[in-house]
Structure 1
Amino acid sequence: MIELTGLDWTMLLLGLAGVGLFAGFLAGLFGIGGGIVIVPALYAVFGLVGVPEEERIKAAVATSLATIIVTSLRSVTAHMKHGAVDMDLLKRWAPWIGLGAIVGAVAARFIPAEALTLIFALGALGVAIRRGLFRTREVPRASALAPVPGGPVAAALGGGIGFLSSLMGIGGGVLGVIVLTAYGRTIHQAIATSAGFGLAIAVPGTLGFIGAGWGITGLSPLSIGYVSLPAFALIAVMTFLTAPLGASLAHRLDKGLLNRVFAIYLGVTALLLLRDTIS
């Protein structure tokens, strides 16, 4: 664990507060989970305070997953009040999603930092392309009761969502909405149920990263495994403050323009991470 001076602590806490404010605002503005924004921002902050490059992306992913526990719980609770969460589907898929998240978290310890950064950057670039070039449309005859697979197919899809989301430090919203709408669910139920996917990913994923990072040296102070407790606390609080501001602004702006602006931001972020990976 690295030692910080008073100035370093000030920089760390201010940086983390800024990450939370920024992530919460963008999450509300663009309707995304915070992980896709938090991971690259934490990567930069941890670099400023001297966390080694080989551990930096893992600490950023792990801490992002910890914050998603709070945001997903808040989100899925709100959606449940509107009856939009398919609890039966969530109960059937959650064990596979959680198992995939644990496997991803444990595997992250053995994956080189460059490869993990590459996975996140390519995933972020894919989201940027999708948000920039394609509008989210409901498939024909979309229904809140459209059947989705169970058995081995559910295990493969749920495990894959958990595994990739855990490696990227994101909730299940990005992948979950794509899968559920592809099977004919309405966009509203897909979003609501995917909020529950986020909780199924974040809890076991965070525990997995805590175990995987136990005893690792060079991490920021007050870390449990790869999870930075100061970062978790500050980001969780700050996102609560700014997410409503972003959401309020989003309702006054053109949705197409918002998608394009977000795609540009995310694409640039992904390209900068790719540059760090290959340099």
Structure 2
Amino acid sequence: MEWLILLMIGLAAGTIGALMGLGGGIIVVPALLYFSTYTNLLGEITPQVAVGTSLLIMIFTGLSSTLSYMKHKTVDYKSGMIFFIGSGPGGIVGAYVNKALDMTSFNIYFGVFIIIISIVLMVRGKLKPVTLSVNGGVKRTFTDLHGETFQYGYQPVIAIIISFIVGFCSGIFGIGGGSLMVPAMILIFLFPPHVAVATSMFMIFLSAIVSSITHISLGNVNWMFALALVPGAWIGAKLGAFVNQKLGSATLVLLFRLFLLFIGIRLIYEGVTGG
């Protein structure tokens, strides 16, 4: 039963993570903490172990979905490497800050963070892109399968600062970071949505390696849980990447946003009341 639960958590995390470019950790961490707190199926799990194990899974989620997106030629490798310059160190700093959080404070901070992410995803479609000057910066052109051409670009320094913040949040909360990076890429840097999601997953793959190594060195990974989560996450990431290329399910996205809002409120409640 324990392995089946972990397999389903991995499948859900991989599918949703790859579909929206989130990485999946935003599903894995709350799920592990929930089953640890309210059932005896997974035993006692600390926030540190939930985060460390989640980030290890993000390596496989990121790699699986990146390989899928590579076939569609939607991964901007140069941009992904530039973003990694910020997200890599950010993940290391976040992992060490995570050490100081007990269950109560983690639930409150993570709950607030998830609510912010939910709001960002809700208003993202209503916000107008902010065009920044990219004189001397990186300028890119992308032509999709329908022949439509997109132009986007960014100043590397700004991109690295934003990705450092994203990496920090990833390291401290065990999420992929795409929940912040994808909106930033679309609204600030004018990335085409499919390119933003694919490139985000590539960055998540790289930064998850760095963050995971840090958490492994701190003893924050449950290897048995990871072994059970990886197959579902790998398959889910392939499925999510496939669905992402075929449709933009407005209903699924709306339900996911409301689900995140519920999780955030629940985590804050648990942190404030102690259960």
TM-score w.r.t. structure 2 length? 0.79
SS at match of 2:99: helix
CA contact (8 A) 2:21 2:198 kept: no
Percent identity among equivalent residues?
A: 27
Change in 2 beyond 3 A, CA 1:138/1:74 = farther
TM-aligned CA distance change 1:136 to 1:259, over 3 Å: farther
The equivalent residue for 1:169 is: 174
Matched, 1:272 2:266: yes
Q: Residue 17 and residue 131 in structure 1: after superposition, are their counterparts in 2 closer, same or farther (change >3 A)?
A: same
Task: Tell me, yes or no, if the aligned pair for 2:21 and 2:182 is still in contact at 8 Å.
Answer: no
- Contact 1:67–1:235 at 8 Å: present in 2 too? yes
Shift of 1:105: 0.6
Residue in structure 2 matched with residue 236 of structure 1 by the alignment: 230
SS in structure 2 of the partner of residue 171 of structure 1 = coil
Q: Aligned pair in 2 of structure 1 residues 250, 100: CA closer, same or farther (>3 Å)?
A: closer
**Deviations 1:81-111 (Å, cap 9, x if unpaired)?**
3332222222223122111101111111123
What letter corresponds to residue 85 of structure 1 in structure 2?
V
Aligned to 1:178: 183
User: Contact 2:111/2:265 (CA < 8 Å) preserved in 1?
Assistant: yes
Summarize the Cα distance change of 1:143–1:29 in structure 2 as closer, same or farther, 3 Å threshold: closer
Question: Cα distance, 1:50 vs. partner?
Answer: 3.8
Change (3 A) 1:250 1:261: farther
**Which structure 1 residue ranges, 5 or more long, are not aligned?**
1-10, 213-224
Change (3 A) 1:243 1:201: closer
Which sections of structure 2, spanning at least 5 residues, go unmatched? 132-139, 143-150
Please, what TM-score do these two structures have when normalized by structure 1?
A: 0.78
The aligned amino acid for 2:168 is: F
Deviation of the 1:143 alpha carbon: 5.4
In 1, are the aligned partners of 2:14 and 2:233 still within 8 Å (CA)? Answer: yes
Q: CA deviation at 1:248?
A: 7.6
> What residue number does 1:8 align with?
none
Q: 1:226 aligns with which of 220, 223, 237?
A: 220
Distance 2:16 2:164 in 1: 28
Q: Which residue of 1 aligns with 2:30?
A: 40
After superposition, the Cα gap between the structure-2 partners of 1:101 and 1:244, relative to the gap in structure 1 and judged at 3 Å, is closer
Structure 1 residues 93, 18: closer, same or farther in 2, change over 3 A? closer
Q: How does 1:87-106 map to 2 (within 5 A)?
A: 87-106=77-96
Aligned letter for 2:97? A
Q: Distance in 2 between matches of 1:239 and 1:24?
A: 4
Query: Which residue of the other structure, out of 160, 164, 180, is the alignment partner of 1:159?
Result: 164
Assess, with a 3 A threshold, how the Cα gap between structure 1 residues 271 and 90 changes in structure 2: closer, same or farther: same
* Alpha-carbon spacing, 1:72–1:137, altered in 2? closer, same or farther (3 Å): farther
Instruction: Tell me the CA shift for residue 22 of structure 1.
Output: 3.6
Letter in 1 for 2:251: L
Equivalent of 2:66, from 67, 76, 82?
Answer: 76
Contact 1:114 1:277 survives alignment (8 Å): yes
8 Å CA contact 2:66–2:201 kept in 1: the answer is yes
Quote the offset at 1:140 in angstroms: 8.3
User: Residue 108 of structure 2: which of 110, 118, 126 is its match?
Assistant: 118
Report the Cα distance in structure 1 between the residues aligned to 2:245 and 2:199, rounded to whole angstroms: 23
1:235 corresponds to which letter in structure 2? L
Distance 2:48 2:267 in 1: 14
Distance in 2 (CA, whole Å) between partners of 1:123 and 1:173 is 13
Kept in 2: contact 1:72–1:199 (CA 8 A): yes
Distance 1:189 1:246, change over 3 A: closer
